[in-house]
Amino acid sequence: MGTRPGRGTANRGGGRAGTRLRRGGVAMAGGGPRRCRRLEADAARAVLGAADTLLFDCDGVLWRGEAAVGGAAAALGRLAAAGKRLCYVTNNSSRTRAAYTEKLRRLGFPPAEPRHVFGSAYCAARYLRQALPLGAAAYVLGSPALAAELEAVGVPHLGPGPAALPGPAPADWAQAPLDPAVRAVLVGFDEHFSYAKLCQALRYLLRGGPDCLLVGTNRDHRLPLEGGTAIPGTGCLVKAVETAAQREAFIVGKPNRYMFDCVASEFDIDPTRTIMVGDRLDTDILMGNSCGLTTLLTLTGVTTLDEVKGHQESDCPARQSLVPDYYVDSIADLLPALGD
């Protein structure tokens, strides 16, 4: 067994990014480019055996819409039975942790507590709780779930739902009173997004200048729906606000490392014994690679093997960092390695 790096802040160190030191256990792409090898048979047993914690993206990995990926629940059941810690890390900001916990239960996955679920809504609320002065509020472009997560951590907020503004025209909106407590604009998935709300967000950002935070839950371009369709994602709304305000948002979600930091602050995580499982290269795999985790791509979501090969064959270091250590067609493929 390898030695474990120190607990607490050492686990959050950025130093692990790019360095793949191994002591004992399985050599996982030590030091060189990641190889995206199919994970099966002996390698699968070794890699899974050496891991304490698995982080799972949800959409496209565990389920698609309301349909569980065949065999996924069984595979996670065996991992849990083997004593692995299972956490769920998702950019989807339209659900609360409690709702995800309930969905996991409903689709037959091993019992999870909300503390195992790291959605971008919850993590954004945590971020604001630590970044805002006491009593400061957030103007929110987001869902009831995002509002609920803010409520749960005690961050005052306003904004969710349809814009409630006086008059039909921008000239009227520019006269609406601004709440003096607002010191942050938070952008999440918002089906009520409108020009009027964009106006208000811009007014708060201009009033506060650098003292008003601009935070986005994630940059995903599209939100997948059941049946293969997709609707515009939060990234579009973040871009609209960033363009109007001519400034860049702090992004909570993958591939940025803040959500991993949340996991590491809740649990004793050893990056060298942690596997990130996802279906998107530019969020799941990139975050996992940046945080020094072992990364496993599943092909039940948005990514094809051809895309990975394209990145592997490129000379560009940014594209190389999108390549996972391993892949499977589905996480059900892990079952044989987890048998008896």
Partner 1 sequence: MASCRRLSGAGLREVLGPAQGLLFDCDGVLWAGERAVPGAPELLERLRRSGKAALFVSNNSRRSVAELERRFSRLGFRGVRAEHVFSSALCSALFLRQRLLGGGGNGSGGGRVFVLGGEGLRGEVRDAGLRLAGEGDPGAAEPVRAVLVGYDDQFTFAKLAQACGYLRDPQCLLVATDPDPWHPLSDGQRTPGTGSLTAAVETASGRKALVVGKPNTYMFDCIVERFGVDPSRTLMVGDRLETDILFGKNCGLSTILTLTGVSRLEEAQAYMASDSAAAKALVPNYYVDSIADLIPGLDE
Stretch near partner 1 under the rule CB under 8 A, chosen from 80-88, 102-110, 186-194, 255-263: 186-194
Residues 6+ apart with CB under 8 A from 130: none
Report the C-alpha gap between 45 and 76 in whole angstroms: 15
Q: 57 a known binding residue?
A: yes
Dihedral sign for Cα 61, 64, 67, 70, please. negative
User: CB of 332 within 8 A of CB of 73?
Assistant: no
21 vs 230 by CB, closer to partner 1:
230
Compute the least distance from the CB of residue 218 to partner 1, in Å.
Answer: 12
**Residue 171 binds to partner 1 (criterion: CB under 8 A):** yes
**Residue 243 binds to partner 1 (criterion: CB under 8 A):** yes
Maximum pairwise Cα distance, the chain = 69
**Residue 80 binds to partner 1 (criterion: CB under 8 A):** no
**Residue 67 binds to partner 1 (criterion: CB under 8 A):** no
DSSP 59: B
**Phi-psi label, residue 83: left if phi above 0, alpha if psi -120 to 50, beta otherwise:** left
Report the C-alpha gap between 326 and 47 in whole angstroms: 10
DSSP 301: S
**Residue 235 binds to partner 1 (criterion: CB under 8 A):** yes
Q: Where are the alpha helices (DSSP H) in 221-304?
A: 234-245, 258-266, 286-290
Q: What would the two tokens of residue 326 be?
A: 């391993």
For this structure, is 59 an active site residue? yes
Sheet holding 157-158, edge to edge: 157-158, 137-141, 182-187, 213-216, 250-251
**Residue 194 binds to partner 1 (criterion: CB under 8 A):** yes
**Residue 225 binds to partner 1 (criterion: CB under 8 A):** no
Among 152, 202, 299, 332, binds partner 1 (CB under 8 A): 202
80 vs 199 by CB, closer to partner 1:
199
243 vs 314 by CB, closer to partner 1:
243
**Residue 206 binds to partner 1 (criterion: CB under 8 A):** yes
Among 164, 231, 305, 318, binds partner 1 (CB under 8 A): 231
**Residue 134 binds to partner 1 (criterion: CB under 8 A):** no
User: Annotated catalytic residue: which of 59, 220, 284, 325?
Assistant: 59
Among 97, 116, 126, 203, binds partner 1 (CB under 8 A): 203
For this structure, is 329 an active site residue? no
Which residues are paired to 224 by β-bridges?
230
Q: 279 a known binding residue?
A: yes
Cα distances (angstroms) measured from residue 44 to each of 26, 47, 263, 321, 331: 10, 5, 24, 22, 11
**Residue 161 binds to partner 1 (criterion: CB under 8 A):** no
Please report, as ranges, the residues that interact with partner 1 according to CB under 8 A. 169-171, 174, 190-196, 198-199, 202-203, 206, 221-222, 231-233, 235-237, 239-246
Active site residues per annotation: 57, 59
